[in-house]
Structure 1
């Protein structure tokens, strides 16, 4: 289900209409829109709060945007902009699908999102508390976003149990199947910070001397992914097997269209579409 609702959420990061909606309220530059839009459900928070909740970003990168971004657009404006842009993006991507298809998908996804456990899930809870959208695509996107952040909160909690810091997590993952330079820059870490993190991973037995993941590291991160999935199961147990299967069927063409605008290299952890049935780690989120 994550492989379906994550692309729906991700239009807010990658579609030109989403970018334009942020720029229309004064959030020029990709990262202003990203941090303001994603953090806005929390209110006018400062950089340390976002560093903690988002987990993977270098504090210096976040501090360049927050809290100064709230002088450009208040959280309420950022929320309106992100929903407007997301709805416009989804309208463009799904115009060939029947309205009844979109309405049913929105209703089922909302039903799942309405069953999340919010305790300990800061971003999931903040998004769940937002007003329900007026139109089907608004409801679809907001439900996907709530489920996405709920799952992400659980993922961060699982990562914390490893004892690794954010740059160490990213450095380890990039020795498995991701681009070191892309993720280092996308999350704002300096080369020196990254090299130091790899050194700590070698000392701790997570990487070998030639920077290959060890059996210990691989087993631990497999356990992190399994814990992430377990922590995200509640909404789907509540929805039930029959309705979840129906939602899977409804979301497939929607998420497929959304995937077309996600760059081949993007730091959101989605597996390539051809491998979607096989699953993949999400630790780069």
Structure 2
């Protein structure tokens, strides 16, 4: 059945909290440390790029899109001297599943969660992979049998599917990786945008050049806030991202979509209420 961009946005709101345990909980960090990756960013680049195999840092930089030049190269391929991609993927999953089980409690073993895992997996494996390299690499991995692990995996696959589409939307607007963070920061009400956590560590000269480039294109004003053109460009990026993210849900019936949303809502609510933990 045809699906709409609003549905894709709603589904993102529901599966994103499942994915965020990877970044805000200690269990994934502990799982990575257990295999020798004690530096957070070593674990991040190893875990997320592992489905791609031992590709050069330049490839990961191109696909991840939003990291500054040289950031991937500080971790890749060095991490593969200590662990294999398979070990990194397994540790990432173990840590995320442990975090989900801790936060969800009895809900982790509920029939609703198992049903959500089944339906979300069907959605995740259904769309075509053309033009979506990270999604394709992750979708090619084995699907876990255990329901919490299967839910985590499906959410991660869908997140990368949406992410590949978001990169395409940014590129269509001529917005670079660091620029995309500036626009996202402003969209979230963060000002100055240079204070945003994803970019505040970059050299001041680098950030100044990015801001100057956005001003030259009339996307931000002299004070570093959105111009009308900048806000419109950000809106187009998000609308295109939603439109490109809709395909996975075409594989489910209307009743199944309603059921999926109903069973995911309490899971997402508990995860959101837990906050960074």
TM over 0.5: yes
Corresponding residue for residue 69 of structure 2: 59
Q: CA offset at residue 184 of structure 1?
A: 5.5
Question: Is residue 156 of structure 2 the alignment partner of residue 145 of structure 1?
Answer: yes
**Structure 2 stretches lacking a partner, 5+ long:** 1-10
Give a deviation string over 1:39-97, Cα, whole Å, max 9, x none.
10111122211111111111222211111011121101101101111111111122222
Q: Distance in 2 between matches of 1:31 and 1:186?
A: 14
Q: Distance in 1 between matches of 2:166 and 2:275?
A: 22
Runs ≥4 residues deviating over 6 A: none
Alignment of 1:125-204 (within 5 A): 125-176=136-187, 177-178=189-190, 180-183=193-196, 186=199, 189-204=202-217
| SS state at 2:143 partner | coil
1:8 counterpart (18, 35, 39): 18
- 8 Å Cα contact 1:19-1:30 kept in structure 2: yes
Q: CA offset at residue 260 of structure 1?
A: 4.1
Question: Is residue 232 of structure 2 the alignment partner of residue 219 of structure 1?
Answer: yes
Q: Distance in 2 between matches of 1:126 and 1:118?
A: 9
Q: CA offset at residue 187 of structure 1?
A: 7.3
State the superposition RMSD in angstroms: 1.8
Q: Distance in 2 between matches of 1:158 and 1:29?
A: 32
Q: Residues 91 and 263 of structure 1: is their aligned pair in 2 closer, same or farther, counting only changes over 3 Å?
A: closer
Question: Is residue 91 of structure 2 the alignment partner of residue 81 of structure 1?
Answer: yes
Question: Is residue 108 of structure 2 the alignment partner of residue 116 of structure 1?
Answer: no
Q: CA offset at residue 150 of structure 1?
A: 0.2
Q: CA offset at residue 236 of structure 1?
A: 1.2
Q: Distance in 1 between matches of 2:186 and 2:101?
A: 38
Q: CA offset at residue 188 of structure 1?
A: 5.0
- 8 Å Cα contact 1:198-1:211 kept in structure 2: yes
| SS state at 1:60 partner | coil
Residues 6-15 or 135-144, more deviating: 6-15
Q: CA offset at residue 178 of structure 1?
A: 2.8
Residues 220-229 or 9-18, more deviating: 9-18
Question: Is residue 46 of structure 2 the alignment partner of residue 23 of structure 1?
Answer: no
- 8 Å Cα contact 1:155-1:224 kept in structure 2: yes
Corresponding residue for residue 248 of structure 1: 261
| SS state at 1:200 partner | helix
**Structure 1 stretches lacking a partner, 5+ long:** 265-285
Give a deviation string over 1:130-181, Cα, whole Å, max 9, x none.
0010211111110000001000000000000111221222223333423534
Q: Distance in 2 between matches of 1:92 and 1:5?
A: 17
TM-score (ref. length: structure 2): 0.90
Corresponding residue for residue 49 of structure 2: 39
| SS state at 2:190 partner | coil
Residues 157-166 or 170-179, more deviating: 170-179
| SS state at 2:66 partner | coil
Q: Distance in 1 between matches of 2:195 and 2:273?
A: 20
TM-score (ref. length: structure 1): 0.87
